[in-house]
Amino acid sequence: MRSQPTSRRLEEPVVVPGGTLPGNVQVQLVKVAEGLVDPVNISNAGDGSGRLFVVQRTGQILIVDQSGAVVEEPFLDISLLVKIDNQEQGLLGLAFHPEYASNGLFYVYYSDYRTNGDHFLVEYSVSADNPNVANPDSARVLLSEEDPFTNHNGGTLKFGPDGFLYLSIGDGGAAGDPYDNALDLSTILGKIIRIDVNRQGVEPYGIPEDNPFAGTGVVIQVPGDLSQTGAYHPEARQEIWAYGLRNPWQFAFDSTTSDLYIADVGQNRWEEINFQAGGTPGGQNYGWDLVESAHCYPPAASARPGTPVPADTVSSCNPAGVPPVAEYNHDDGSCSITGLGVYRGTASPSLDGIYFNADYCSGKFWGLQRDDAGQWIYQELLQTGLRATGAGEDEAGELYITSCATCGSGGREYDPYADPQGEIWRLVSADQVPEGAETAPAPGEEEESAATPAIFGEMVATPTAGSPVASSGAPAEPVTIEGVELDWNPNEVTIPANTDVTVSIPNNGLAFHTFVIEELGIKIDMDPGQVQDIVINAPAGTYDFICDVPGHAEAGMVGTLTVK
CATH number, residue 154: 2.120.10.30
More confident residue, 16 or 525: 16
Q: 338 and 477: one domain? A: no
Domain membership of residue 363 (yes or no) is no
Q: 337 and 471: one domain? A: no
Domain end marker among 311, 342, 373:
342
- Confidence class for position 468, pLDDT limits 50, 70, 90: very low
Domain membership of residue 26 (yes or no) is no
Domain membership of residue 350 (yes or no) is no
Work out how many domains the chain is built from and give that number. Answer: 2
Domain membership of residue 364 (yes or no) is no
Integer Cα distance of 206 and 348 in angstroms: 39
- Confidence class for position 315, pLDDT limits 50, 70, 90: very low
Strand 191-195 with 240-243, pairing? antiparallel
Domain membership of residue 119 (yes or no) is yes
Sorted by sequence, the CB contacts under 8 Å of residue 14 that are 6+ apart come out as 293, 294, 323, 324, 325, 326, 327
Nearest to 3 by CA among 182, 130, 126, 200: 182
- Confidence class for position 356, pLDDT limits 50, 70, 90: very high
More confident residue, 311 or 500: 500
SS3 annotation, 204-271: CCECCCCCCCCCCCCCCCCCCHHHHHCCCCCCCCCCEEEECCCCCCEEEECCCCCCEEEEECCCCCEE
Domain membership of residue 19 (yes or no) is no
Domain end marker among 315, 342, 369:
342
Domain membership of residue 409 (yes or no) is no
Sorted by sequence, the CB contacts under 8 Å of residue 49 that are 6+ apart come out as 66, 131
Residue 299, domain extent: 38-342
Per-residue DSSP letter, 313:
G
Q: Are 525 and 512 in contact (CB under 8 A)?
A: yes
State CA 498 to chain mean position distance. 34
More confident residue, 198 or 66: 198
Q: Give me the long-range contacts of 174-181 (CB less than 8 A, separation at least 24).
A: 174/148, 174/149, 174/510, 174/528, 174/529, 175/267, 175/507, 175/508, 175/509, 175/510, 175/528, 175/529, 176/267, 176/289, 176/297, 176/298, 176/510, 177/246, 177/288, 177/289, 178/510, 179/148, 180/2, 180/289
Each residue's pLDDT tens digit, 167-220: 999 999 888 899 999 999 999 999 999 999 998 788 999 999 999 999 886 665
Per-residue DSSP letter, 552:
H
Domain end marker among 325, 342, 359:
342
Integer Cα distance of 327 and 214 in angstroms: 31
- Confidence class for position 525, pLDDT limits 50, 70, 90: confident
